[in-house]
Amino acid sequence: MKLKEFIPSLTHTIQLVSKSAKQLRQPKNVVPVIVSLTTIPYRLNKVHITIRSILNQSTAPEKIILWLHEDLKNAIPKSLKKLEGSCFSIQFSSISCPHLKLVETLAKHSDCIIVTCDDDMIYPNNWLETIYNTHKANPKKVITNFSREISYKQDGSIKPYKNWPYNKGDESDKLLPLGVGGVLYPPHALHKDATNTKLFLTLCPKADDLWFKAMALINNTETYRLQTSIPLIPVMFTQKVSLKKQNIGKDFNVEQWKNLSQHFNL
């Protein structure tokens, strides 16, 4: 976390934690969306802050599902349990990878609009409403808040991931939706292989964003980025453990995109 982000994170955390579960569940305008996410043991005691920020939206989703590995069934903190209700539920899976944020919900709710998000962010209360309104204007497209552009050298080889520019253009086959800011998937936007656990664990076990991008491409689904990105605030003390060091620092994202490109002839 950057120093300039600390005070906004602390302020928003205090505001969210000060609200009771009953206050967060107060009736709101509901849109036909499932918000789906996952978390890791390191963040299990902090993810309630992200959940609170989603419950605190100006426009509410029909469901919020937090997917956890089944080994965590007996480790759920009270901070999460007390948020469970008609909207928010915790569900369990045998899968243990970042793809869990979408694949189980996709398998069970294939006809629904699904919005994925990350477990270490505080989402402002206009986040879901803005993404959903953009979806209504672009109903067949994947909608993303943040993106990178998959970039190639003149010889056709892939550039290092750090050289894939952020938020370049609003529409492009090369736009890579980034889960951190929230991504909306309309029904049937992804190829049927999207939930093929064996395949994604073989081709890109650490890069769910790349996997879902490939599944959209081979399904001929376009990506649209919000014209004005919604700013996010990191949850304090959640960044010590992440996939960034491996995927970006060691450029493992490039290796995984090569795997996907070769397998699916992208």
pLDDT of 110-158, one tens digit each? 999 999 999 999 999 999 999 999 999 999 999 999 999 999 999 888 9
In whole angstroms, what is the distance from residue 86 CA to residue 111 CA? Answer: 20
Residues whose CB falls within 8 Å of the CB of residue 183, separated by 6 or more in sequence, listed in order = 115, 116, 117, 142, 143, 144, 145, 177, 212
Q: What phi and psi, each to the nearest 5 degrees, are found at residue 110? A: -65, -20
Give the pLDDT score at 35.
98
Give the pLDDT score at 266.
85
Give the pLDDT score at 95.
92
pLDDT of 15-57, one tens digit each? 999 999 889 888 789 999 999 999 999 999 999 999 999 999 9
Q: Are the C-beta atoms of 266 and 217 separated by less than 8 Å? A: yes
Instruction: Tell me: pLDDT of 250 over 60.
Output: no
pTM more than 0.85: yes
pLDDT of 185-224, one tens digit each? 999 999 999 999 999 999 999 999 999 999 999 999 999 9
Domains and CATH numbers, the chain: 3-264 (3.90.550.10)
Give the pLDDT score at 204.
94
Give the pLDDT score at 156.
86
